[in-house]
């Protein structure tokens, strides 16, 4: 990250992002998401540096979530979503090139819908390879329209350096939210960023 802040990638256009429920891929299929206890939730939050009031804030942000779902949300933010934003911030501040941010939020219907938008689920949409062995995780009818939208954006970025959605600036943190309806939103994780400020 220090190298990025120092301008090591200043002339390289960047697309960076994450998925809304990254960690669920590792918790839902084997049922471990239902075995998370309050004790383990508090312990992992403490290991990550999240204060008790931070954990309470997560309960508010994810009202109605089970203990396992809160565990997943905290891990997702700590491992993927917050670091991706920090990386985009660093690149945007130092770069002469363009920075673009996305969040993949399309919810898989598989496993009772509990997988959500898990780790790696965006890949067959980006490469337009839906149906090539994706049914166990994405279901029989994933959104081809979404794949068309994402694939087109990545191809245009690779060839022209432009995604077709607003550039990312640290002051706005414009993020393309890919879902049934895809829309650019500003600073979608503002509350989570405040909770993790100075931690990750």
The model scores a pTM over 0.85: yes
Q: What is the pLDDT of residue 95?
A: 85
* Residue pLDDT, tens place only, 137-173: 999 999 999 999 999 999 999 999 999 999 999 999 9
- Per-residue pLDDT of 17-49, as tens digits, reads 999 999 999 999 999 999 999 999 999 999 999
Q: Tell me the domains of the chain and their CATH numbers.
A: 2-196 (3.40.50.1820)
What are 80-138's pLDDT values in tens digits?
999 999 999 999 999 899 999 999 999 999 999 999 999 999 999 999 999 999 999 99
State the Cα–Cα distance between residues 142 and 156, nearest whole angstrom: 23
Whether the per-residue pLDDT at 56 is higher than 90: the answer is yes
Q: What are the start-end ranges of the H helices in the chain?
A: 2-5, 24-27, 38-47, 52-61, 67-76, 82-94, 123-126, 135-138, 144-160, 190-196
């Amino acid at each position: 990250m220090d190298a990025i802040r120092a301008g090591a990638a200043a002339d390289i256009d960047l697309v960076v992002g994450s998925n809304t429920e990254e960690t669920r891929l590792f918790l839902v299929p084997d049922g471990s998401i239902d075995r998370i206890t309050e004790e383990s939730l508090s312990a992992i939050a403490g290991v990550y540096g999240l204060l008790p009031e931070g954990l309470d804030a997560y309960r508010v942000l994810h009202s109605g979530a089970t203990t396992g779902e809160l565990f997943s949300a905290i891990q997702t933010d700590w491992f993927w979503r917050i670091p991706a934003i920090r990386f985009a911030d660093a690149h945007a501040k130092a770069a002469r090139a363009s920075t673009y941010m996305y969040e993949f939020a399309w919810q898989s219907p598989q496993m009772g819908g509990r997988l959500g938008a898990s780790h790696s689920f965006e890949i067959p949409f980006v490469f337009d390879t839906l149906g090539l062995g994706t049914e166990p995780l994405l279901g029989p009818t994933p959104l081809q329209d979404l794949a068309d939208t994402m694939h087109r954006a990545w191809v245009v970025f690779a060839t022209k350096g432009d995604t077709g959605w607003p550039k990312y600036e640290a002051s706005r943190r414009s993020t393309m939210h890919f879902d049934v309806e895809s829309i650019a939103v500003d600073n979608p994780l503002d509350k989570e960023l405040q909770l993790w400020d100075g931690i990750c």
